[in-house]
Chain A
Amino acid sequence: MNGLQLAATAAVDYPPSQAFGDLSQIAPIATLAVAMIVAILADAVLPFPRRGPVVMAISAAGLVVAFAFAFGSWLQGGGHSAYFGFVTGDNFALYFEMLFSVLGLMTLVVSHAYVRRRGLYEAELHILTLAALVGMMALAAATSLVTVFVALETLSLALYVATGYSRRDTTSQEAAAKYLLIGGFASAFVLYGMALVYGASGSTLLPEINKAITANQASNPILILGVVMLAVGFSFKISGAPFHQWTPDVYQGAPLPVTAFMSVGTKAAAFAMIIRVFGSGLANVSTEWQVLLAFVAVLSMVVGNLAAIVQSSVKRLLAYSGIAQGGYMLVGVIAGGRDGVAAVLFYLAAYVFMNFGAFAVLTVLVDRRGEHDQLDDLTGLGYRNQPLGILMTVFMLSLAGFPPLVGFIGKFFLFRAAVAGGWTWLVVIAVLASVISVAYYLRVVYHVWTPSAEQAHLRRMPGPLVAVLASGILALILGVFPTLILVAGLTGAAPVLVAAGH
C-alpha cells in the first residue's frame, strides 16, 4: 500500500465523531495553537500601541482555557490515545499541560513588565512563548517518534528566536546563534537515534516499539546505537553534562523572562520526553539506558555544582545549578517505577516554582540600561526591598533542599525512589554533590543580606512581584503539604507504566 492509498483509506475510515474525539484529547494544545494564530493576526492588524496588551490578553485567555480543558479532562480520569496512536491525552500529558499553562501565565506577567522596562516590542515575545508552549505540551503528549520530533522542533525553533529577542544586544544574538547551532546538532542526534530505533523495531509508535523490542534483542547493535544516540540528544536538551556547555552562555545571553521560561519549561518538556520514550517505549532495554543516564547524572551533579561555585553572574550560576538539578531528576528517571516517575513529576513542578521565582526576582532589578544579574547587584537587596529579599532566600534555600521547603521534599521523593530501586550509590553521590551546592546557593543569600551603600528603594513592578510571591508561597505550601502535588504526580505517572507493561 503506497502513501497515497494509505491517505485515501484513512480519509474514508475517519468519521466526524472520531475526529471530534481525537480533537478533544489534544484540546489544551489546540487551544493554545489557535490562540497563537489569533495573536499573530491581531499583531498584524491592530495599531501599534495596542498590539502588546491585546496579544497579552489573548495569550492569557488561551492559557486559562487550555488549563481548564486539561483540568476538566483530569477530573474525568484522564483521556486516551488519539490520532491513530500518535498523541495521547492521558494523565501524564495532562499533568504537563496544566504545569505548562501555569508556567505560561507566570511568564506572561514577567515578560510584560520586562519589555516595558527595557523598551522592547511586546507582542512577538508573547507569541513566541505560546509557540514554545505548544511544542512543550505536544512533547508531553506525543506517543510516536514522529510527533516527539515535530514537537521538539516546534519548541526549539521558538526558543532559538526568543533567545535572540533583544535585537540590539550582541550577547543575546550570540546566545541565539550558539543555541541554534548546538540545538540543531542535538536534534540531529535525536533524529538519527529515532531512525535506528525504527530500524530495529519496525515502528514509530512507542507502544508498538515496546512490543517489538523484547529483552533478547538487547544485543542488537542497531538498537543499542539508537539508544545511545537518543540518550546523547536528550542529554543535550536537559543540559546534562558532558553535553551542557551551551547552557550557561545561552541562559546568560537570553532576555531574563526567556531564560526563566526555558530554564524550567525546556527541562520539564525534555524530561517528559525522556520518560515517555525511554520509560514506556524502550522499557525492555532499561538496563542499557540506565547506565548511560547514570553516567550523565553523576557528571551533571558534579560538574554543575562545582562550576556554579565560581560564577559571578546569577544567571550563569542558576544555569549551572540547573545542570545539577537535572542530574538529581535523572536519578529519579533511572530509578523508574511508579514512585520514581512520580518523584520526577513532583520535582519538576517544584523546580518550576523555585527556579522561575529566582529569575523573576532578577527581573525586578532590570532597568532601561539593561539587566543587572551580577551577584554584586544583589548586594543589599534584603534591605532595599525586604519581602523580595526574603523570597529570594526562600528560593535559594529551597533549591539547596532545606526543609520545610518544597525542594527538600522533592529531593526526598527522588532519593527514596532511587534507594528503593537499588541505586543507593547514586544517591550517595547526589547528596554529596548537593552539599557542594549549598555553598553557592548561600552565596546568593549572603549577597542579598549584606548591607550595601546603595539604599535606593527598588521601583515596584507588580507583574514579577505577583509571580515571585506566588512561587514563594507555593514553595512553602507544597513543602508542608506535599501530598497536593504528589497525588497528581502518582496519577500522572501511571499511564507511562501501563504503556511499559508494568
Chain B
Amino acid sequence: MILTAVWLLPALGALALAFVPTVQARMVAALFALASLVLTLVVAVGFDPAHHGYQFEQNVSWIPQFGVSYHLGVDGVSLWLLVLNALLTVIAVFATDRRMPRMRGFLSMLLLLEGAMAGLFLAADLLLFYVFWEGMLIPAYFLIWLWAESGDGRRAAIKFILYTLVGSLLALVGVIGEYIYTGARSFDLAFLATHHPNPGIQFGLFFLLGLAFAIKVPLFPFHGWLPDAYGVSPTPFLVTFAGVMGKTGAYAMLRILIPLLPQPQAWWDWNAVMPVLAVLGIFWGALMALAQRDLKQVVAYSSVSHMGFIVLGIFSLNQQGQQGAVVQMLNHGIIIPALFLLVAWVAARTGTRDRSVLKDLAPRMPVLTGVFLIVTLAALGLPGLNSFVGEFMTLLGAWQLQPWLAVAACVGLILAPIYMLRMFQGVMYAAPGEQLAGPLQEAGRNQVAARADITGSELAIIVPLVLLMIFLGLYPYVVTHPMPALGIPYPVPWR
C-alpha cells in the first residue's frame, strides 16, 4: 500500500492545488512534495538488501481478461531513482519563483509529473509501466508549452511530444507483441523475463520498444527534440525534466530490454548496436556542447554526452557496467539540475546566458562561483566527487565487453573538462588585465550590482545537491549496496 501512496500522494497534491488560493499554492505543493520524499525515504530505510525479488509488493488484478495487473514493487534499481525523483521535486518546488505566472497550474503539473514518474519506477507490470510512461507526457507537454521561459514554447512542446509519441506508440505494439509472441499471456515483468520469444521476434520487439526508450533518453541520433525542449523549459521544471525524465528511458532499457529481450538477433545484433550509438552520443554531445554560446545549451548537450555513458554501461551486459549505469543515473540526476539552477541564477543576475559576453563574475558573486566550481568539477568527473565513481564503473564494464569501446569513451571523457572548464573560466574569471566585455559594460553594469551573490534561499536549495555530490563521491557503497536485490531475473545475475 505504501507504494501506491508514493505515486498517488503527489497526484492528489496536484488535485488539491486546484482548491487552494494562489498565495498558499507554493506552501501546499511543498508540503505534498516533502511528504512524498519522506515516504520514499521510509521505503529506502525499510528496504532489505539481502532479499531477492520485489519488496513492498502490491499485486491486484486490473484487467484479468487480458492478464493485466496493478503490480507495484521496488527493487535495488528503482529504489534510488524513486528517492531522486522525490528529492528533485522538492527542490523544483522551492526553486519556483514567487512571480511564476499561473503558479497553481505550474505546481500541480510538477506534482503530476512526479506522480507519473514514481509510478513508472514502481511498475512491475508491462502495461502499467506503459500507462505511466505515456501519462507523464501530458504534464511535461503543458509545462514546456504554457510556461516556456523563452522562445517558442508551443513549437518546442509539439516537437517534443511528436518525437516521443512516434516511439512510444510503436512501443505499444511492442508491449502487445511481448504479450502475444512470448505465449505468456501475461504482462508481469518477472514472468515475461523467464519467457523469451525466439531471437527473430526479439529483434523486432527490441526495435519497437527500444526506439521509444532511445528517444526518451535521448540516445544519439534521436536527440533532436532535446535542445529545443531544454532551451525553453522553465528552470524548476528542468530540475525534474532533465534530472529524472531522461532516466526513465535508461531505466526502461535496464528494466525491459535487458531482461525481456536478451538475444535480439536477426539481421544484426541490437545488443552490439546500442553501445556504438552510446559512444557516438558521448562524442556528439561533447562536441555540440563545445560549440554552444548559450550556457543552457552547453548544459543540455553535456547531458546528452553523459547519457551516452549510462547507455554504454547498460549495454556492456555485465554487472559492473550496469550498476555503474544506475550510479551514473543518480549522479547525472544530481549534477545536471544543479548546473541548470546555477545557469539560471547567473542569467537572472546578468540578464543573459550568452557565454561570449559574460566575464569576470567571480568578484561580484564569490560564493556562487565556489558552488559553481564544485558542480563543474563533479560534472567533468573529478575523483572524489560522485560522477567519477559512475564513469569508472561504466568504463570498467565497457572494457570487459570491448576494450576499444572503453578507449573511445575515454576520449569522449577528455572533452568534458574542455567544455566545462571553458564555460566556468570564461564566465567567472577574466584574463589578467581584461575588463568586462562590451555589452555587459554598458547594459549590464547596473544589473550586476557590486554584490550580487547567491541568496540564502538559493543556497538552501543547492547545498543538499552539493553535499550529495561529495558524499556519493566518497561513499558510493550506500547506493551500490542494495542494488543486487533485483525484482526480476537478469541475464547476467548481479551479486
Do A and B share a complex?
yes
Chain A residues with CB under 8 Å of chain B are 397, 401-404, 408, 411-413, 415-416, 419-420, 424, 427-428, 431-432, 434-435, 438-439, 442, 446, 449, 482-483, 486-487, 490
Contact between B64 and A483, CB atoms less than 8 A apart: yes
CB distance from A252 to the nearest CB of B (A): 26
Please give, as numbers and ranges, the residues of chain B lying within 8 Å of A442 by CB-CB distance.
141, 158, 161
Residue on A nearest B137 in the bound complex, by CB: A402
In the complex, A431 Cα to B169 Cα: how many Å?
6
Q: Bits for B130-143, please: 1 = Cβ < 8 Å to A, else 0.
A: 11101101100110
Given A402-B134, A449-B146, also A438-B63 (CB < 8 A)? no
Partner of B134, one of A408, A415, A420: A408
Q: Whole-angstrom distance between the alpha carbons of A431 and B177 in the complex? A: 14
Indicate whether B287 reaches chain A with its CB closer than 8 angstroms: no
Contact for B66 among A401, A416, A428, CB less than 8 A: A416
B158: which A residues are within 8 A, CB to CB?
A: 439, 442
Does B166 make an interface contact (CB < 8 A)?
yes
A403 B134 Cβ-Cβ under 8 A: yes
A488 to B162 CA separation, bound complex (whole angstroms): 35
The 24 sampled A-B contact pairs (Cβ below 8 Å) are: A402-B135, A402-B137, A402-B138, A403-B131, A404-B131, A408-B134, A415-B172, A415-B173, A416-B66, A419-B180, A420-B180, A424-B173, A424-B177, A427-B173, A428-B170, A431-B173, A435-B162, A435-B166, A438-B161, A442-B161, A446-B154, A449-B142, A486-B65, A487-B65
In chain B, positions 16-63 with a C-beta closer than 8 Å to chain A are 62-63
Closest chain B CB from A366 CB (angstroms): 27
Contacts of B66 in A (CB 8 A): 413, 416
The reply to whether A434 and B179 contact each other, CB–CB distance below 8 Å, is no
9 smallest CB-CB distances across A and B, nearest first, come from A431-B169, A403-B131, A419-B176, A435-B165, A403-B134, A416-B176, A403-B135, A419-B180, A420-B180
- Cross-chain contact of A432 among B65, B142, B169 (Cβ < 8 A): B169
B115-152 near A? 1/0 per residue, CB < 8 Å: 00000000000010011101101100110011000000
B170 close to A431 (CB less than 8 A): yes
Given A402-B138, A404-B131, CB of A438 within 8 Å of CB of B165:
yes
Taking a contact as CB atoms under 8 Å apart, the answer to whether B169 and A404 are in contact is no
* Chain A neighbourhood of B177, CB < 8 A: 419, 424
Of B138, B141, B145, most buried by chain A (CB within 10 Å of CB) is B138
B65 pairs with A415, CB closer than 8 A = no
Contacts of B130 in A (CB 8 A): 403
| Number of chain B interface residues as a range | 20 to 34
A190 CB to closest chain B CB (Å) equals 34
- Roughly how many angstroms separate A333 CA and B141 CA in the complex, as a whole number? 33
Chain B contact residues, CB within 8 Å of chain A: 62-66, 127, 130-132, 134-135, 137-138, 141-142, 145-146, 154, 158, 161-162, 165-166, 169-170, 172-173, 176-177, 179-180
Instruction: Specify which of A401, A415, A446, A486 is in contact with B63 (CB 8 Å cutoff).
Output: A486
Contact between chains at B146 and A438 (CB < 8 Å): no
- B67 → chain A closest CB, angstroms: 10
B163 to A, closest residue via Cβ: A435
Q: Are A397 and B65 interface neighbours, CB within 8 A?
A: no
The residue that B172 contacts in the complex, of A404, A412, A482, with Cβ under 8 A, is A412
A379 to B179, CA, bound (A): 43
Is the pair A404, B170 in contact by a Cβ cutoff of 8 Å? no
Q: Hey, which chain A residues are within 8 Å of B161, CB to CB?
A: 438, 442
Minimal Cβ-Cβ distance residue in A for B165: A435
Q: Which residues of A contact B165 (CB under 8 A)?
A: 435, 438
Rounded to whole angstroms, the CA-CA distance of A434 and B162 in the bound complex is 10
For residue A396, give the distance in angstroms from its CB to the closest CB of chain B: 11
**C-alpha gap A486/B66 in the complex (Å):** 10
Given contacts A412-B172, A416-B176, A483-B65, 8 further A-B contacts (CB under 8 A): A402-B137, A419-B173, A424-B177, A431-B173, A432-B166, A434-B169, A438-B165, A442-B158
- Report Cα–Cα, A402/B66, bound state, in Å: 19
B131 and A408 form a contact (CB under 8 A): yes
Q: List, in ascending order, chain A residues with CB within 8 A of B62's CB.
A: 483
CB distance from A417 to the nearest CB of B (A): 9
> B105 — nearest CB in chain A belongs to which residue?
A449
Residues of A with C-beta under 8 A to B131: 403-404, 408
User: Which residues from chain A contact B169 at a C-beta distance below 8 Å?
Assistant: 401, 431-432, 434-435
Q: In the complex, A487→B131 CA distance in Å?
A: 21
Task: Output the least CB separation between A376 and chain B (Å).
Answer: 15
Q: Closest Cβ of chain B: how far from A302's Cβ, in Å?
A: 15
Closest chain-A Cβ to B360's Cβ sits at a distance in Å of: 41
In the complex with contacts A403-B130, A412-B127, A428-B170, A397-B138 CB distance below 8 A: yes
Q: Which residues of A contact B141 (CB under 8 A)?
A: 442
Q: Which A residues are CB-close (under 8 A) to B180?
A: 416, 419-420
Most-contacted residue by chain A among B63, B145, B165, B180 (CB, 10 A) = B165
Q: How far is the CA of A154 from the CA of B177 in the complex (A)?
A: 43
**How many Å from the CB of A134 to the closest CB on chain B?**
33
The minimal Cβ–Cβ distance linking A346 to chain B, given in whole angstroms, is 11
Residues of A within 8 A of B173 (CB): 415, 419, 424, 427-428, 431
Cα of A404 to Cα of B136 in the assembled complex, Å? 10
The residue of chain B having its C-beta at the shortest distance from the C-beta of A482 within the complex is B63
Residues of B within 8 A of A490 (CB): 65
A412 neighbours in B (Cβ, 8 Å): 127, 172, 176
Contact B179 A416 (CB under 8 A): yes
Give the distance to chain A from B25, nearest Cβ to Cβ, in Å: 15
Q: CB-CB < 8 A to A408: which residues of B?
A: 131, 134
Chain A residue at minimum C-beta to C-beta distance from B167: A435
Of A402, A416, A427, A438, the contact of B162 (CB 8 Å cutoff): A438
Q: How far is the CA of A428 from the CA of B211 in the complex (A)?
A: 14
A408 to B132, CA, bound (A): 12
Task: Give chain A nearest CB distance to B279 CB in angstroms.
Answer: 30
Residues of A within 8 A of B146 (CB): 449
Q: How far is the CA of A408 from the CA of B161 in the complex (A)?
A: 16
Given contacts A403-B130, A412-B127, A431-B172, contact A439 B179 (CB under 8 A): no
Cβ contacts under 8 Å, B172 to chain A: 411-412, 415, 431
Chain B residues contacting A486 (CB-CB under 8 Å) are 63, 65
With both chains docked as a complex, state the minimum distance between the C-beta of A151 and any C-beta of chain B, in angstroms. Answer: 31
Give the complex CA separation of A416 and B145 in angstroms. Answer: 33
Nearest residue in B to A487 (C-beta to C-beta)? B65
- B134: chain A residues at CB < 8 Å are 402-403, 408
Q: In the assembled complex, which residues on chain A have CB atoms less than 8 Å from the CB atom of B138?
A: 397, 402
A408 to B172, CA, bound (A): 10
B154 cross-chain contacts in A, Cβ below 8 A? 446
Chain B hits for A432, CB < 8 A: 166, 169-170
Kindly report which residue of chain B lies nearest to residue A481, judged by CB atoms. Answer: B62
Q: Given that A408-B131, A435-B166 are contacting pairs, would A446 and B176 also be in contact in the complex, using a CB cutoff of 8 Å?
A: no
In the complex, how many angstroms separate the beta carbon of B52 from the nearest chain A beta carbon? 31
- The CA-CA distance from A413 to B131 in the complex, in Å, is 14
- Tell me which residues across on chain A come within 8 A of B166, comparing CB atoms: 432, 435
User: Smallest CB-CB separation from A427: which chain B residue?
Assistant: B173
Q: How far apart are the CA atoms of A411 and B168 in the complex, in Å?
A: 14
> Using Cβ atoms and an 8 Å threshold, which residues of chain A touch B145?
446
B64 surroundings in chain A (CB, below 8 A): 483
CA distance in complex: A482, B141 (Å): 26
Pick the contact of A439 from B135, B137, B162 — CB < 8 Å? B162
Residue of B nearest to A449 (CB): B146
Residues of chain B within 8 A (CB-CB) of A428 are 170, 173
Cβ of A317 to closest chain B Cβ, rounded Å: 16
Instruction: Give bound CA distance, A102 to B212, whole Å.
Output: 39
Contact A415 B135 (CB under 8 A): no
A424 to B132, CA, bound (A): 24
Query: Which residues of the partner chain B approach A411 to less than 8 Å between Cβ atoms?
Result: 172
Least distance between A388 CB and chain B CB atoms (Å): 14
Closest to A420 in B: B180
> Once the chains are docked, how many angstroms separate the CA of A431 from the CA of B168?
9
